């Protein structure tokens, strides 16, 4: 029997009397005030098998789908310098890879200004010097972390070939604790005229010629002598292709997929196409952004329209597509938007939306001064290091994907949206193997922390093939859309003194319920919250949380996956390995912000974020 909302509410209020006051505040904000019979309703009837789901179900989602990125000038805020901080799987990427020059004699854990730069550019294309210490800092990531390292295309002096191959060879040989899986050559070449890196005729076809020359040099001098295949590179990493000749189809026509020189297997140089986007960019976007507009999910789809076209162009050429730099607001977020609970809901929705588009991986960009970063790693803005609400979206997405390499998602159509909720509700079906495994529902109706009365909707779920089956409800909750603290996911908080996950008020990770004989259930969803309905097993437990060697090796044969010391073919050998490698990302000194709940913190539930965070590290960063 499905417990009634009134009974659940009464039992909850009775339990609240035994909880500490600070927990009362958070849980009270999570309880909808609208009575079940008064709540607007939303009917959901997902396809129950993959065969019924049809053509628009996603490809299998890699456990390394949801990732993060660090600006290289901020690298040591996250890794530590002479003192080592514990790290997580991340990407470092952006403009400053095109400022960097390698000096093997410079061993400090730092970057330094080049006293005699020769390269062109508003910031000279050899204005920053790095050395072995920089690569050693990257080596602090967990064993087997896949690294896509960024090489300098902007530098175009006569000695460009020895410069680029020296850094490529150093990264190949010195990144021995992590796993080098690719090179990105150049960052956002569509902005090279603006940055002063190029003058005169500069276009997608000219870029393609120069990119191919660098790829050939690195292949011939570094990869081929070490028996590494030619398809080891990522173009075009553009900021935007709108109105330019840098569209993926333009690069294809210019010959970027030509076979590599001297390749014995007739492969190209290209592993995947790489582009960047921000939902909103300060100084570029032509309208004002507030929380209400931010929570309008259709606006995200509208903004991303041009990028959907680029994804389709990549697929037409038979090449995967990754979004290596993304965030709610660029370049460093917007206070009151990016650091709110609304950003957690937005991030979770964007991850799922991107997965339905068959984007292979998404990295959310971070700097140590960014409000859009999932956590703040140093003392800044009169605040100590802390976790932001958007961090919880990574944990939720990791559990949704699981560790088994069999998960797909599909947008679940909403036949009738309750009045007033247009563009505020979205649902996704989750499939594992051949069958439905769960449903995600996100409600972005703005309801702020000061709103004492919070609305809700009633979900009428129909799964006729699952009559009498158990299901579990995991919730993403906060005090309100505008809240910057007291977020929880699946009953867990990371806002603890040592940043280790802790159950809130002893609450269970997920609420267990049961479908009726006909496969029906009613579920309350509060405004400004999200739920994941998981069939058969609670999210983070059961087969989905266990490494599937055959499935993951099959997926890893086409996409680089994280590996542990004991795992085969680029994947972690067990969920225990995943949890161990998921240790933490860094705060200053010994402060540690965990990348995933461990079994103890989650009451036996594991978030496989050590496996799930995409770990493409690129030696570059965003500079406005």
Task: Judge whether 410 and 47 are in contact, CB under 8 Å.
Answer: yes
Contact 61, 401 (CB under 8 A): yes
pLDDT of residue 425: 98
Let me know: does 69 contact 93? Beta carbons within 8 Å.
Answer: yes
Beta strands in 86-125 (DSSP E): 100-102, 112-113
Check pLDDT > 50 for residue 615.
no
- Helix or strand holding residue 364 (H, E): strand 361-366
| pLDDT exceeds cutoff 50 at 565 | no
Lowest-pLDDT range of 71-85, 225-239, 472-486: 71-85
3-state secondary structure of 166: helix
Confidence of residue 92 (pLDDT cuts 50, 70, 90): low
Is it the case that residue 247 has pLDDT exceeding 90? Answer: yes
Token couple for 58: 């996603």
Average pLDDT over residues 61-80: 80
Phi-psi region of 10 (alpha: psi -120 to 50; beta: other; left: phi over 0): alpha
> Which residues, 6+ apart, have CB-to-CB distance to 51 below 8 Å?
434
- Which pLDDT score, from 0 to 100, does residue 607 have? 28
At residue 84 the predicted structure's pLDDT band, cuts being 50, 70 and 90, is low
The reported pTM is 0.85
Question: Considering the chain, what is the average pLDDT of its residues?
Answer: 82
Query: pLDDT digit string (tens) for 158-198?
Result: 999 999 999 999 999 999 998 888 899 999 999 999 999 99
Quick: pLDDT tens for 523-545: 999 999 999 999 989 998 899 99
Higher-pLDDT residue of 559, 64:
64
**pLDDT score for 576:** 28
pLDDT at 591 exceeding the cut of 60:
no
Give how far the C-alpha of residue 510 lies from the chain's centroid of Cα atoms, to the nearest Å: 23
pLDDT at 81 (0 to 100): 63
pLDDT at 93: 56
Cα separation, 320 vs 313, in Å, equals: 10
pLDDT digits (tens, 9 = 90+) for 447-474: 999 998 999 999 999 999 999 999 999 9
C-alpha closest to that of 609 among 403, 366, 339: 403
For residue 110, the model assigns a pLDDT of 86
Contact 126, 98 (CB under 8 A): no
pLDDT value of residue 508 = 57
Residue 70 has pLDDT above 90, yes or no: no
pLDDT at 580: 27
* Residue pointed to by tokens 């867990």: 492
Is residue 2's pLDDT more than 50? no
Residue 461: count other Cβ atoms within 10 Å of its Cβ. 23
Condensed to tens digits (0 to 9), the pLDDT of residues 248-282 reads 999 999 999 999 988 778 899 999 999 999 999 99
Mean pLDDT score, 44-65: 93
Range of lowest pLDDT (28-37, 403-412, 568-577): 568-577
* pLDDT surpassing 60 at residue 485: yes
622 φ, ψ (degrees, to nearest 5): -85, 130
């Amino acid at each position: 029997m499905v417990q009634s909302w009134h009974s659940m509410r009464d039992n909850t209020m009775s339990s609240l009397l035994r909880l500490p006051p600070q927990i009362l505040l958070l849980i009270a904000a999570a309880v909808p005030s609208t009575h079940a019979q008064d709540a607007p309703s939303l009917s959901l009837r997902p396809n129950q098998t993959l065969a019924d789901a049809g053509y628009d179900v996603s490809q299998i989602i890699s456990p390394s789908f949801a990732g993060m990125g660090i600006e290289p000038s901020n690298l040591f805020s996250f890794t530590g310098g002479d003192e080592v901080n514990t790290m997580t799987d991340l990407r470092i990427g952006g403009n400053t890879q095109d400022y960097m020059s390698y000096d093997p004699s410079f061993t400090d854990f730092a970057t330094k200004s080049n006293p005699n730069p020769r390269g062109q550019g508003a910031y000279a294309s050899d204005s920053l010097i790095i050395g072995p210490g920089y690569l050693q800092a990257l080596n602090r990531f967990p064993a087997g972390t896949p690294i896509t390292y960024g090489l300098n295309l902007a530098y175009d002096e006569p000695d460009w070939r020895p410069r680029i191959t020296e850094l490529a060879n150093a990264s190949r040989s010195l990144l021995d604790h992590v796993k080098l899986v690719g090179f990105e050559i150049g960052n956002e070449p569509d902005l090279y005229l603006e940055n002063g890196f190029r003058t005169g005729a500069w276009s997608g076809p000219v870029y393609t010629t120069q990119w191919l020359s660098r790829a050939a040099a690195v292949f011939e001098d570094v990869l081929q002598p070490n028996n590494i295949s030619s398809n080891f590179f990522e173009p075009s990493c553009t900021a935007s292709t709108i109105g330019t000749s840098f569209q993926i189809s333009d690069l294809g026509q210019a010959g970027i997929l030509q076979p590599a020189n001297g390749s014995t297997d007739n492969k190209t140089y290209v592993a995947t196409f790489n582009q960047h986007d921000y939902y909103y960019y300060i100084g570029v976007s032509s309208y004002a952004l507030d929380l209400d507009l931010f929570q309008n999910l259709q606006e995200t789809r509208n903004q991303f329209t041009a990028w959907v076209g680029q994804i389709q162009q990549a697929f037409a050429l038979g090449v995967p597509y990754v979004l290596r730099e993304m965030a709610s607001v660029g370049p460093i977020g917007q206070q009151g938007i990016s650091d709110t609970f609304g950003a957690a809901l937005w991030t979770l929705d964007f991850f799922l939306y991107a997965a339905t588009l068959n984007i292979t991986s998404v990295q959310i960009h971070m700097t140590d001064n960014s409000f859009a970063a999932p956590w703040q790693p140093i003392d800044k803005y009169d605040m100590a290091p802390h976790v932001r609400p958007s961090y919880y979206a990574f944990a939720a997405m990791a559990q949704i994907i699981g560790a088994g390499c069999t998960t797909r998602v599909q947008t679940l159509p909403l036949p009738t949206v309750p009045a007033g909720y247009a563009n505020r509700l979205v649902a996704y079906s989750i499939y594992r193997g051949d069958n439905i495994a769960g449903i995600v529902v996100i409600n972005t109706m703005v309801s702020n922390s000061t709103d004492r009365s919070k609305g809700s909707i009633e979900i009428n779920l129909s799964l006729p093939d699952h009559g009498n089956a158990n299901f579990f409800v995991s919730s993403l909750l906060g005090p309100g859309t505008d809240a910057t603290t007291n977020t929880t996911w699946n009953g867990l908080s990371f806002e603890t003194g040592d940043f280790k996950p802790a159950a809130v008020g002893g609450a269970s990770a997920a609420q267990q319920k049961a479908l009726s004989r006909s496969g029906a259930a009613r579920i309350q969803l509060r405004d400004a919250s999200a739920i994941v309905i998981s069939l058969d097993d609670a999210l983070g437990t059961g087969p989905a949380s266990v490494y599937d060697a055959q499935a993951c090796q099959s997926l890893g044969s086409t996409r680089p996956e994280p590996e542990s010391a004991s795992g085969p073919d680029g994947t972690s050998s067990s969920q225990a390995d995943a949890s161990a490698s998921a240790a933490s990302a860094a705060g200053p000194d010994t402060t540690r912000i965990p990348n995933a709940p461990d079994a103890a913190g989650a009451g036996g539930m594991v978030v496989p974020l050590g496996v799930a965070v995409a770990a493409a590290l690129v030696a570059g960063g965003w500079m406005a």
